[in-house]
């Protein structure tokens, strides 16, 4: 993923609970042309990260499969598990 200029026009979808009225910060997602996917946070909307749809779908499938659960476990007071971490390069 790389930083990109703020692409226009995009329709942003906010990842927040439906009943949440507060300002967040929340993550927002937009699908752009040429199979691009754009991510930003509501507290820094001019900082947009762009990736490909293929990489986004791989990330979503990994999240659904629990591949990133060790990061949340670390937030709950436990150390992150190195056994679940892997690094790939493009």
pLDDT (tens digit, 9 = 90+) per residue, 6-28? Answer: 556 899 999 888 788 777 889 99
- Rounded-to-integer distance, Cα 24 and Cα 58, Å: 26
Looking at the predicted structure, is the pLDDT value of residue 86 above 70?
no
- Rounded-to-integer distance, Cα 28 and Cα 81, Å: 28
In the prediction, which pLDDT does 82 show?
Answer: 56
pLDDT (tens digit, 9 = 90+) per residue, 42-72? Answer: 999 999 999 999 999 999 999 999 998 888 8
In the prediction, which pLDDT does 52 show?
Answer: 97
Q: Output the CA–CA distances (angstroms, integers) from residue 61 to 57, 66, 68, in the order listed.
A: 6, 9, 11
- Note the pTM of the prediction, 2 decimals: 0.69
Tell me what the mean pLDDT of segment 28-41 comes to: 94
């Amino acid at each position: 993923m790389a930083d990109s200029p703020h692409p226009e026009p995009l329709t942003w979808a906010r990842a927040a609970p439906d009943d949440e009225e507060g300002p967040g910060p929340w993550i927002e997602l937009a699908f752009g042309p040429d199979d691009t996917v754009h991510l930003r946070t509501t507290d820094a909307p001019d900082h947009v990260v762009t990736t490909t749809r293929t990489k986004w779908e791989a990330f979503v499938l990994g999240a659904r499969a629990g591949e990133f659960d060790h990061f949340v476990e670390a937030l709950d007071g436990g150390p992150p598990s190195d056994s679940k971490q892997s690094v790939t390069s493009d």
